[in-house]
Amino acid sequence: MKCQLPYHVGMWAETGGGKSTAISNVIGGMIQELGGAPTIRTTIPKIDVDTAKIFPHVDWLGVPNSVFGLLEAALEIQYRIHVNEQAFLKGEEIKDFDPILFFIDEINLIFTRWKSINEADLENVLDRFADTLSGERLEYFNRFMRIELGNYKQQFAKKLLLFIWQTGRSLRVKSLIAGQNLQPGSFGMMVNDLANCAYISFGDSIRSCQKYKVRDVDADLISKNSNLLQKALKTNPQLKYTALYCPTQGEAFFGTLPPPNYYEWDKELVRPKLSKLMSNGASNWTESRENVQVRPTPDRLQNKEFGVFKDASKLPSKFQNLSYEAYLQLWQRLPKKTDSCVHKMLAYEQVFEVSRSSDRKVVSDFIDWLERNFS
């Protein structure tokens, strides 16, 4: 799959479908489009072996800090808009900015944690984010952006992503957003809000993607080819590396995902430029990269209190002593009804694999506990 990439890309992928290889290649293609050596900022809520190979350095690691990637991207866009406005009002030349690419993985995991937050939670996360800033961006954040973010409490992460997709295009800010469900409804968006974003979908996600990103005039052909692909998969498993690409303009098409490193890029782009920073004074190292996590560390829940499920010892063993991240992932996996409530009967059979009434009673209470903490 080789094509001109737009400013924002949504990657709709399931585990095992070539996601990691595709991420690396898409980033390589976006870097080529931006030109030069753009800054790359990475947000990875959960690290694994394949992702660690792509990103030897991660800016925002773990669920508690995962929303910082969206906050930083939104701040960068707003700050660039502000700089341009001031230059225009003063009659000065409006200069171009250096390119920057934000990669944000597991967006649905981020949405689950950073969906609706209370006042104390908002103040906590904004204080922690402000501690990572300095200079003009810190001043802009405190003077202008912080108050505005108070209006986003009901759909915090979703509003940030919508802002990034709607406004980043002309400011040399690109984004690559990866997740298991990129339907507009999961973002709290309208279909037209996705106009600036191309989609790449894999596997079973292809059918859902067709509804939102394939033009009506192309729908019949894409649906026909999708059916042929599903049939061919039965005899040729390698076809699972075929993806549907839906550009911002033009025809959608199927293509085979490129092999590893087809679009090569320098992994040093995701590391701090120590020599450059030190040349401007030692203080700039701390000022610019104080928040950086150079290697993976265990998630620490810093900003949301939740109790321990009182009957955890009565659950099936694999659901005892879960981490915060694992609770989030479990909540996402549970089958939901159309009203977003958990379909408990399916959950008993498909997820927890319990049949006795006493076991189901404990699991039912556990599901209620998950809903209180993670819905």
144 and 185 co-located in one domain: yes
Q: Specify the number of domains making up the chain.
A: 2
Final residue of a structural domain among 237, 258, 289: 289
217 and 169 co-located in one domain: yes
The answer as to whether 190 is a domain residue is: yes
176 and 321 co-located in one domain: no
Final residue of a structural domain among 289, 324, 351: 289
Final residue of a structural domain among 289, 321, 341: 289
255 and 163 co-located in one domain: yes
Which range of residues forms the domain containing residue 369? 312-374
What does the block give as tokens for 95? Answer: 């200069």
**Phi/psi of residue 58, nearest 5 degrees:** -125, 130
The answer as to whether 294 is a domain residue is: no
342 and 247 co-located in one domain: no
317 and 173 co-located in one domain: no
The answer as to whether 304 is a domain residue is: no
**8-state DSSP, 269:** G
Phi-psi region of 103 (alpha: psi -120 to 50; beta: other; left: phi over 0): beta
242 and 326 co-located in one domain: no
109 and 25 co-located in one domain: yes
The answer as to whether 221 is a domain residue is: yes
Distance, in Å, from the CA atom of 197 to the CA atom of 6, rounded to the nearest integer, reads 7
320 and 225 co-located in one domain: no
The answer as to whether 194 is a domain residue is: yes
Distance, in Å, from the CA atom of 20 to the CA atom of 148, rounded to the nearest integer, reads 35
246 and 364 co-located in one domain: no
The answer as to whether 227 is a domain residue is: yes
365 and 277 co-located in one domain: no
The answer as to whether 12 is a domain residue is: yes
User: What CATH number is attached to the domain comprising 143?
Assistant: 3.40.50
The answer as to whether 196 is a domain residue is: yes
273 and 329 co-located in one domain: no
* pLDDT per residue of the chain (375 residues) written in tens, 0 to 9: 444 455 688 888 776 667 888 899 889 888 887 777 888 999 999 888 888 888 888 999 999 899 999 999 999 999 999 999 999 999 999 988 888 999 999 998 998 889 888 888 899 999 999 999 999 999 999 999 999 998 888 889 988 998 888 887 778 888 999 988 888 877 777 777 777 788 999 888 888 888 888 888 888 999 999 888 888 888 887 787 889 998 888 889 998 888 877 888 888 888 654 333 333 333 333 334 434 333 333 333 333 445 678 888 889 888 887 777 678 778 878 888 766 788 899 899 888 988 888 889 999 999 988 888 776
